[in-house]
Each structure stands twice: as structure tokens, then as C-alpha cells.
Amino acid sequence: MKNTSYKVLVLGSGGREHAIVWKLTQSEFLHSLYCIPGNGGISKHAKIESSIKLNEFEKIYEFIKENKIDIVIVGPEQPSVEGIKDYLSQYKIPVFSPTKIQAQLEGSKIFAKKFMKKYNIPTADFVVAENYEQAKSLLKEMFSKYKDGIVIKADGLAAGKGAVVCNTLEEAENTIYEMMIKKIFDKAGEKVVIEKKLNGIEISVIAFCDGETILPLTYSQDHKQIYDGDKGPNTGGMGAYSPVPFVSKILEEKIYSQIINNFLCGIKDSQIGYCGVIYFGLMIENLNTQPQPYVLEFNCRFGDPETQVLLPLLKDDFLQLVIHTINKNLHNFSKLSFENKYACCVVLASKGYPLEYETSKEITGLDEAEKISDVLIFHAGTKKIDNKFLTSGGRVLNVVGIGKTLQEAINTSYRAVDKIYFENKYFRTDIGKKGLIYDNI
């Protein structure tokens, strides 16, 4: 990788990938941009190839050869967990992604929990059940220990639906029956983790990591449930904001000393190593008294929709960071720098999401919304046909507002939301509210 101008291929099709592609367009190191499979919004910035699927590694390689791609950036977890980095490495293609083994930190909850235990990364107490009979008896043990409830997690990838919080033994028994006998997640639910339910507030810590150096972005917070007030089923994420006003010095010190440093020691000591983005999903217990962070999950990629609020605030050259990560040169950056501002992202979803949802609704008002200053719109489930944008997914658009205060960022994003129309558009009206309680600015 000696060029100073790179042809970059981004893999993925969501709001996260649109934000990545948009950020890449600002890089002084960018020659040209490609995206597989992309979406309607991404097609404004990159040449998209929507006929190739993300599990078609050979076709992806053909595309790379044909277009003389210099660097591949992987957005979602699936290709990393399936080993795209290992596959393309045989052809000496630089890939911004963890290897198949490294991606097990997301791809196997059992692997992740054992790693955390071994390297003293605070996480909920847990047991592993290898089969249904064992799970049934372990449930009783865990419930007698943790009367407040437990969480059952399918070992493998389950599209964000694999963790079920159970407040009663009956609920827990139903859950393991669904996962291990009815196999609703197929092989992913053959083994499960059963863990203590934690109580507190969740935040996301997302960092670049080259195996030696780890560089966290600012803190962000997702809104996973579909309805206001964190009610209803989990989704891929209905909104996010950053930075998070309630991360105190004392909490930050614990995040660094107990989580980030122990993670780094763990990947070195175990010789797993790491290259790419590592996402720590944290639960903070006792926020107002003795805050204690626990890792709920690792993800081996950027968060969605967290990326949509993080990248607009990042001042460093994103492509340069990617290159330094791949080349194990991240130590060249002592710290990442961010605008002294807030960003808030409201997700517009199709009626029915996160279950079966409507599609092919015409979207209007995008230009008007984008004209508002400090507004960015990242597409997720859209497609462009005859110069019109149509809905094509559950999460359709990410409407981002930037402001000097969190309140200002929230107001700006909702002003833009009001300008956009598609039939039965759905969104949460309380994105950022949890941060406002603590925002003294």
C-alpha cells in the first residue's frame, strides 16, 4: 500500500455504510469509491454494485480485481465472522476488518464471555449450556441466585435478536425451548449463555484497534427499542446521540483501566490479535453513586446508528485512520479529535418494523430537509428508481442534526424529520432524552 491515493471498496448497505462512504469522500487520500451492495443514498457518492451478495466472496474478489481496488472496508459483522479478511488476504488485498478468529468476539457469545472472564473484563456472571437438558437445570440454579432475572443469549449471530431478558423462570424456559428445540435461530441457538440480568444505563464505546494500540471514539448511546421510553421489542437501533454527557471522569477511568486496557492485554496475551473496529456495548450500574461499567457484548464493527453520529463529529481523516489500522501504525495518532458539538440521529422506519414491514413507498422532502443547516441524511433501506427514492427496508433513513448543545442537535434533527414524508413513516420522538437529563450546558 504505497499509493497516496486509494481506490476504496466499502461492503454493506445500511446507514452505517452511508456514513462511512460520506466520511471517506472528505479524505485527501481517496482516489475513488465503490460499494457492494450499497443503497440509494450511497449511489450519490460511490459506484455501487447491488447484484453481488456479501457472502459471495469470489464475486467480491472478481470485482476487486476488475476495478483495481486498493482497500476494502467491511461494514457489517457477517462477512467478518465468515472470514472475508482471511479469504482476501490470500490475494494480498488489504482489508479493514478483523479475521475470522478475531470476529468470534462477536460471532460467539461463549467465546466472548470466556475471553472477558479470563482477562478480568467486568461482565455479568454467567454459565454456558451446551444442550437443552443442561440449560433447563442451569436456569433453575441461576434463578435461585439471581431473583431479579436472567438473560439468555444464543451463542451465534442472530441478527440482534439473540439476547432475551427473562424476569421469570417460565419465560426463561420458553426461551430455551424456542432457541434449542424449535431452533428459531437455527445453529446459532444450539448452545446458549445464561447470565445475570444487570440494571443500569447502556452506552457504546467504539474504537479503532490495530492489535497494539486502541483509539476510542467519543461515547455514544443507542436507542434499541421500537417505542418511546425504551418500550417494545428490540430493533437494530432507532436513534443515537453523541457525546454522552453523563460519562464522568471516574466512570471513564474505569472504562479505560478495566475494559479497554484489559481487552488490549487479552488480545495480545491470547495471541488472537486484532485489526479493525472493536465495539464495547456497556451497561453502567449505579451511575449516580459508584458507577461500574460491565461489557454486555463485543461487536467486531462500527455500531449502527452510532456511526451516523460519530463520524460527523470526527475531525481526523477517516481513511488515514483505516490505513494506519491495517498497517499497525495507529500509534501515529495519540488521540482522536472531535468537534466540540453534539450529534443526534433519528431513524425513520417503515410501518411494521422490526417485524414484517412495508416497502416501495415513495420518499419526498429529502432535498428540503437537507437544505437545513447542520443536517445530514444517511440512507439505509432506500433504492433509487427513475430519480425517485423508494423505501426498501425496515430502517429507511437516518436524520442527523448537529448542534452546540445536545438539545440543539435534537431540535435540528426533528426539524428535518418533519420535512421528510413517506406513507406510514415511523420514528421515536424521544431520541437523546436520556442524555438531556444530564446535559448541563
Report the interface residues with ligand GLY, using CB under 6 A: 222, 237, 299, 303-304, 306
Rounded to 5°, the CA angle 413-200-304 comes to 40
Partners of 376 in beta bridges: 400
Range 149-168, binding ligand AMP (CB under 6 A): 151, 153, 163, 165
Residue among 159 and 265 whose Cβ is closer to ligand AMP: 159
Q: Please choose which of ligand AMP, ligand GLY, none residue 374 contacts, taking the beta carbon within 5 to 8 angstroms, the exact cut-off set by kind.
A: none
Which of these, 109, 69, 121, lies nearest to 300 by C-alpha position? 109
Is the Cβ–Cβ distance between 320 and 215 less than 8 Å?
no
128 binds ligand AMP (CB under 6 A): no
Residue 34 DSSP SS3:
strand
Interaction mask 76-115, ligand AMP, x per CB under 6 A:
----------------------------------------
Residue 165 interacts, among ligand GLY, ligand AMP, none and using kind-specific CB cut-offs from 5 to 8 Å, with ligand AMP
237: partner contacted, choices ligand GLY, ligand AMP, none (Cβ within 5-8 A by kind): ligand GLY
Binding-site size, ligand AMP (CB under 6 A): 14
Minimum CB distance to ligand GLY smaller for 86 or for 306: 306
Stretch that binds ligand AMP, among 4-12, 183-191, 192-200, 423-431 (CB under 6 A): 192-200
CA distance to 81, 93, 207, per residue, from 264 (Å): 20, 25, 11
Cα separations (Å) of 325 from 76, 77, 277, 317, 330? 18, 18, 9, 12, 5
DSSP state letters, 244-287: -TT--HHHHHHIIIIIIHHHHHHHHHTS----EEEEEEEEEEST
Beta strands in 180-220 (DSSP E): 192-196, 201-209, 214-216
Q: Which residues of 118-135 are buried (b: 16+ CB within 10 A; e: fewer)?
A: ebebbbbebbbbeeeebb
* 275 binds, options ligand AMP, ligand GLY, none, Cβ within 5 to 8 A by partner type: none
Q: Which of 23, 224, 379, 419 binds ligand AMP (CB under 6 A)?
A: 224
| C-beta of residue 342 within 8 angstroms of C-beta of residue 409 | yes
Is 373 buried (19+), middle (13-18) or exposed (0-12) by CB count in 10 A? exposed
CA separation for the pair 109, 441 (Å, rounded): 39
Q: Which does 299 bind (CB under 5 to 8 A by kind): ligand GLY, ligand AMP, none?
A: ligand GLY
**With binding defined as CB under 6 A, does residue 191 bind ligand AMP?**
no
Q: Is residue 205 part of the contact set for ligand AMP (CB under 6 A)?
A: no
- Mark 262-281 with x for binding to ligand AMP (rule: CB under 6 A) and - for no binding: -------------------x
Give the 3-state secondary structure of residue 143: helix
Q: Pick from ligand AMP, ligand GLY, none: which does 380 bind, CB < 5 to 8 A by kind?
A: none
Residue closer to ligand AMP, measured from CB, 7 or 161: 161
387: cell is 430519480
Please say whether the beta carbons of 290 and 268 come within 8 A: no
Instruction: Please calculate the CA angle 357-358-361 and round it to the nearest 5 degrees.
Output: 150
Q: Output 298 or 427, the one with its CB closest to ligand AMP.
A: 298
Please tell me the distance from the alpha carbon of residue 247 to that of residue 410, in angstroms, as a whole number: 19
Q: Which is nearer to ligand GLY, 299 or 382 (CB)?
A: 299
Binding flag, residue 306, ligand AMP (CB under 6 A): no
Stretch that binds ligand AMP, among 63-71, 194-202, 266-274, 300-308 (CB under 6 A): 194-202
Q: Which does 303 bind (CB under 5 to 8 A by kind): ligand GLY, ligand AMP, none?
A: ligand GLY
Please identify, using beta-carbon distances, which residue of 299 and 392 lies nearer to ligand GLY: 299
Residues 6+ apart with CB under 8 A from 386: none
Q: Does 197 bind ligand AMP (CB under 6 A)?
A: yes
Q: Which is nearer to ligand GLY, 63 or 302 (CB)?
A: 302
Among 80-88, 178-186, 195-203, 270-278, the segment contacting ligand AMP (CB under 6 A) = 195-203
Q: What is the closest distance, in whole angstroms, from the C-beta atom of residue 184 to ligand GLY in the complex?
A: 20
**Spatial distance between the Cα atoms of 258 and 251, rounded to a whole number of angstroms:** 10
- To the nearest whole angstrom, how small is the minimum distance from the Cβ of residue 13 to ligand GLY? 14
Rounded Cα gap, residues 297 and 268, in angstroms: 19
Residues that bind ligand AMP (CB under 6 A): 124, 151, 153, 163, 165, 195, 197-198, 202, 224, 281, 283, 296-297
